[in-house]
Structure 1
Amino acid sequence: MSSTALSVAIPRRYSDSLYGITAAASFSITDILLKVAFASGMNALSLATLRGVVVVIFFIAWLRLSPPMRRHTARERWIALGIGLLFSVTMFGLLEAVALLPVSIAILAYFVYPLLTGLAGAVTGVDRVGWRALLAAASAFLGLGMMLGFHVQDLAPLGLACAFIAALARVATLLLTRACLNQADARLTTWYSMVPSTAVYLIALGLVGTWAIPGSVAGWGAFLGVTATSTLSTLLIYISTARIGPFRTALVMNLEPLLTTMASIALLGETMTLAQGAGASLMIASLVAFQMVRGR
């Protein structure tokens, strides 16, 4: 490669990373706005349902304007529909965790999913994990234990359970996607998964009957912001994965828990003790190390 080509390639690589960085920042905004929406009177099921309807309509329009290059096979379509059921568990669990816990705690508890995905991938033969990755994973779980252990009595057990269940469903989704849908159009996979998940929410809402809309202008603004930022983040992740690959994209996405933690302290008035802060820092650093050693 010539020096001119190299000088062009290096800045482009960094500029392409901005897609993932923006996606992480956008998801962090989503995390904060969720708390505002819940404070205005929404509940997790109502938010998940209304957001799902909006996103489904968005994907209908997007796929009509820009049809996929290749349609799913029948097998891929059924797998994507099944993933949609897992996605409904992930989304509701994460939303309920944010509603019941401090935002920073909920997101960090949920972010055990990259570790669990790598470990489950090693067990099932989908991935390979060496001793360095196992050491990083152990450090991350130690950091999570430090963050939760000192004040676990002050945290809602249901909220923690929802965060961990959401993480497990996310692990299953990632493993299925990697094993069975690696060559499929990601937008179409998302469409097929959004339809059953939204249907599940609509049925659950009809059975439970606890529809709750925002009770203020700020609440409606937060809901619309959540819908916009979460959809934007999804689009940017697609672009980032195409530009810099899934490994670097996953690495950059570790900015989300870091940014969310800082924003929740600055904007929502949430607090962390020194021990919790040390545990959160250890967990985030170990997440980065885990993905870096796996990427070698």
Structure 2
Amino acid sequence: MTTTAVDAPGRPAPAFTGTGGKPVSIATMLFSGTSTQIGAAVGAHAFSAIGPPGVVAVRQLVAACVLLPVARPPMHRFTWRQWWPTLLLGLVFSLMNLGLYTAIDRVGLGLAVTLEFLGPLGVALARSRTRLDAACAVFAGAGVVVLVAPGPSSDWLGIAAGLLGAACWAAYILLNAEVGARLPGLQATAAASTIATLLCLPVMIMLALNGKFTAPAVLAAIGAGVGSSVVPYACDLMVLRRVPAQFFGVFMSVNPVLASLVGIVLLGELLSAREWLGVVMVIAANVVTTTAPGRREKLPRSR
């Protein structure tokens, strides 16, 4: 696959670099996606005790506790050029996870992840405004309508939460590429996870004071932290240094399928034929728009 797009303002997108090249990158992204969905399903078992905000809070704490000793980011030496995308990434971590888990709690894992997947699709569509892209955007929108079947009985809060997760996932992709070029290793991820933990601290204090942290709930939330934060954050940061954000976006189309399968196996959530059709429509829109011949557009220079 040709990789001449621009991944961040003013900087050429990375090609499939490093040992193993494309096969290793694909394997890493597949592992990241599977881990994310299993972690989300495990975390869902804690909703009845501590709710989505509690799972997010523990998940971020776990991520910070694991990543900080490994990366040891010298945060006292960060320049403002390094701090501002790291601060934004920490905020995005919190909102992305809160939106996703709220959506999972209300509309199920498969539907929630499909809605969230509109974020990577938006990143891909931002590169061009061709007729093909417009058609794909309309088709993806139609897929969402088919998926959620809006009506008087629709869970609009769950749908809105999924869309919040989508917006944050788009920001996550772009910010990860940005901080990956400004800080080595996992320093940015560790620092951002620490910021996200501080943002969630009031939630943890409130739940602790009310005695909500039962052993099963804590264990499930920790599982979500390892599976959905530590593993994918590390994998994604490394991958986005090796591949273009555009390729990352199209490959992430596997996530709604993984989420639906994990939902069936671990949560007993069965999708109807209509819901599967909506999932496939969203995935197809992403695949078409990011693999069209001659796709070499640039992200806008917004600095």
Give TM class, smaller chain.
0.7 to 0.9
Structure 1 residue 53 corresponds to structure 2 residue 61: yes
Judging changes above 3 Å, is the alpha-carbon distance between structure 1 residues 259 and 173 closer, same or farther for their aligned structure 2 residues? Answer: closer
Structure 1 counterpart of 2:289, one-letter code: F
Query: Which residue is 1:35 aligned to?
Result: 44
Change over 3 Å in CA distance of 1:275–1:226 after alignment to 2 = same
Distance, in Å, in 1 between the alignment partners of 2:162 and 2:210 is 22
Q: Distance in 1 between matches of 2:123 and 2:242?
A: 23
Q: Measure the CA separation in 2 of the matches of 1:10 and 1:198.
A: 34
Percent identity of the aligned residues? 21
Number of residue pairs aligned between Structure 1 and Structure 2: 273
Answering whether residue 91 of structure 2 is matched by residue 82 of structure 1, we say no
TM superposition shift of 1:215: 5.3
Q: Give the drift of 1:19.
A: 0.9
Partner of 1:91: 97
Distance change in 2, residues 1:112/1:210 (3 Å): farther
Q: Distance in 1 between matches of 2:193 and 2:165?
A: 16
- In the alignment, structure 1 segments of 5+ residues that lack a partner are 1-8
Which residue number in structure 1 is paired with residue 140 of structure 2? Answer: 140
Which of 161, 182, 185 does residue 184 from structure 1 map onto? 182
Asked if the contact 2:54/2:203 (under 8 Å) is kept, the reply is no
TM-score (structure 2 length as normaliser): 0.77
Q: Check the 8 A contact 2:124/2:249 in 1, yes or no.
A: no
Say whether the 8 Å CA contact 1:94–1:166 is kept in structure 2. yes
Indicate yes or no: 2:26 matched with 1:17: yes
Taking structure 1 as the reference length, the TM-score comes to 0.79
- 2:197 aligned with 1:198: yes
Equivalents in 1 of 2:198, 2:19: separation in Å? 45
Tell me by how many angstroms 1:26 deviates: 1.1
Query: Which deviations, in whole Å up to 9, do the C-alpha atoms of 1:102-125 show, x marking residues without a partner?
Result: 111111111111233345xx4xxx
SS in 2 for 1:212: coil
Residue 238 of structure 2: aligned partner:
239
Question: Matched residues in 2 for 1:115 and 1:13: separation?
Answer: 21
**Counterpart in the other structure of 1:149:** 149
Please give the per-residue CA displacement for 1:263-284, whole angstroms capped at 9, x wherever unaligned. 2124322222222221111111
Deviation at 1:258, TM superposition (A): 0.7
User: What pairs up with 1:218-237 in 2 under 5 angstroms?
Assistant: 219-230=217-228, 231-237=230-236
Tell me the residue number matched to 2:35. Answer: 26
Distance 1:204-1:105 versus aligned 2 partners, 3 A rule: same
Where does residue 287 of structure 1 map in the other structure?
286
The question of whether the paired residues in 1 share the 8 Å contact of 2:120 and 2:250 is answered with no
CA 1:154–1:32 in 2, change beyond 3 Å: closer, same or farther? Answer: farther
SS class of match (2:182):
coil
> CA distance change for structure 1 residues 221 and 204 in 2, over 3 Å: closer, same or farther?
closer
Structure 2: how far apart are the matches of 1:211 and 1:248? 45
Give the structure with the higher percent helix: 1
Q: Deviations over 1:12-46 (max 9, x none)?
A: 6324421111111111212221222325x231222
Q: CA deviation at 1:139?
A: 1.1
SS of the residue 1:42 aligns to? helix
Stretches of structure 2 that go unaligned for 5 or more consecutive residues are: 1-17, 297-303
Give the superposed CA RMSD.
Answer: 3.0
